[in-house]
Structure 1
Amino acid sequence: MLLSIKTKLKLNKRQKVLMAKHAGLARYTFNWGLAAWDDLYKAGLKPNKYLLKKFFNNHVKPECVWIKEKGVCQKVTQYAFDNLGHAFDRYFQKLGEYPKFKKKFKDDSFTIDAGGKPLAVGGTSVKLPTIGWVKTYEGLPHVTTSKLTISRTADDWFIAFASLQEHIPEPKKYEVVGCDVGVKTLLTLSTGVTIPNPKHYRKELAKLKLLSKQLARKKKGSKNRFKARMKLAKHHARIANLRKDTLHKVTNYLCKNHAMIVIEDLNVKGMMANHKLASAIADCGFHEFKRQLTYKSEKFGNQLIRSDRWFASSKTCSNCGCKKEKLTLSDRIFECFDCNFSLDRDLNAAINLSRLAKA
């Protein structure tokens, strides 16, 4: 299957400047294309990425001498227009919002290739077109890829690419498992295993407030404000990495030990509308949990089953099957008065989910 690999680059000052130039060129091209798209649309025309790309290469590039600076790959502009076209496709299909102008230091990235030739990747060094050799912090598998994407998070640069990987399914310890996700307990399995919620954001909130206060007190445009901004961005990245690390460990455990995995199809966007629980729900990463399970199930040979969104897993008794009319968040123990059965609320829901696999 086709899987992507992302790892951190070990760059010197000259290479960091070169990466920033590529990201700046990609940002300028995207913003120019978006502005031109808006102007053409207001004039009653139907623009597309091919028309904008042709006009940019024939009329805009010759006037901007800095674009052809030595060491800057010209393929960056082509992929910037491709990203713009993909963003509009998602907008017209109602899968995303209207494209917005890119800002410096926010989601800086660019994509390059070797002019249609395969790029060889492997070891702790990668040779990038026009940029040269760059080092990585960890060894990469020896594979070939068609293109490379380089992005910036805080003040660090990362390289990402997709490659074909083979994985032989291994025998699983359990046949079926139901997974009930929550805020108090991150994951409760029908096998009785519970995984507590580490609450990374809440633990680091005090330092985030301090760094945000320090940033607000710095003079705009000063070097000290830039340093404070980088400190805050690095701390945000650290929290995100801790959350991803927890979810990767959980999903790896599920996929390596269970043949069939049943999860809830939660309306995360609707849950986030509750301002009292939005912060705690966002800290759990429910969408990222489902995304990782989706591709890892294919990788490890699992069967992933999503329950119906309106399936009352928490309100249904796992012993007799009767359904409660009302169940509040404060009710942590499920009690069925028809069969005198009581069980932990999350474990009861996980058992109900596991039975969907047999159905």
Structure 2
Amino acid sequence: MRYLLTPFITILVIFLFGFINTKDEVLNQSEILKGVNPNQEYITFTLQKSGEDYSFVRERYINKITEIISEKNMPSKHFQVMVELSTRKPASYLPDNWAFPITYRKSWYEGDEKDQETIGYIPRELRTGMSESRLVFLDGIIYELSGYYSPEKYSLYSISVPIDYGKKEDKREEGKEKKKMSLKEKLKAMKGGITIGDPIAKKLQEDDVVERLKVYLNAANKKQEIVHSKWANSQEGKLFLENLELKREAFNKSLQKEKEEYYKSDLYKRIQRNNRLAEGAAATSSVTLVNNTGHDIRIYEEGSYNGFTLRNGSTSRFDCEKNLYSASTSAPNVKHGGGSLVVSGGTSCGQTIEIN
């Protein structure tokens, strides 16, 4: 009996070890970033979807990670990533979670250098429920997510791959007879949305990179929940989160103090005085129209095809040196809307006229 059980136990141990290994292989984004080359250049493909089908469209630009900076709050664990992708200018991305980040979110630090030196580094918080721009680094690829609400609810905007993506595999395949695709495989590839003629786009399709992202986010999200819960209840986590909130509170108080000091300053008084002067000058060179017609109307200047919608009960200023016409919001596309004259140019400057 002992000899019969030994192979079974061995197989069970191998299975469990493999399962544990698989779980451990789900790395967070900061762990993955440690192996990313900051000097790597990337080719970006935007995704175009039609139902369940999608296609890769190559962008004209070569993009890059501008800088990978050791994160100011947890320098030994996380990073601030400056990256050029679809924006064509460097954008800042910070970890989405301090215990186990599964994406890097588009964010930056509050305040200026002086605030950061005296108070500390505080990531900008977005309002709850707002969609965000996120990055995921996976297997050498940068995924750009837009409209991100959760690991299940987001739009995959673009995929950036190293300029030599797929070339190593191509070299290994040299001299080998390429396997011909069956009709079923060809139809599947066409449904997936291969960009015809672009070898990198074809490689992306073959590697099923879209599905790979889904698998990663699903597994990483489950691990994040476990790791974050444990960390947030540890002494390290509690102290870190408490300190971050204290820094945020100090920064907000600093802003309020600066605002109060600004309102008392000579600069603010001069600006307010100039505003009043400008307001007075504008009033004397314009005419104020009040819409009392009971419905929205459009106001046209002499000779103009484009009118301004004046809502019912609202008031607005217009150039008093020009003839002004009133017309319905469905006015034809003719000069001054084919409306009726309400103000003769140069006769009503500084006045208020009601349109009944």
TM-score of the two chains, using structure 2 as the length reference? 0.19
More helix by share: 1
TM-score of the two chains, using structure 1 as the length reference? 0.19
User: Which structure is higher in RCO with an 8 Å CA cutoff and minimum separation 6?
Assistant: 1
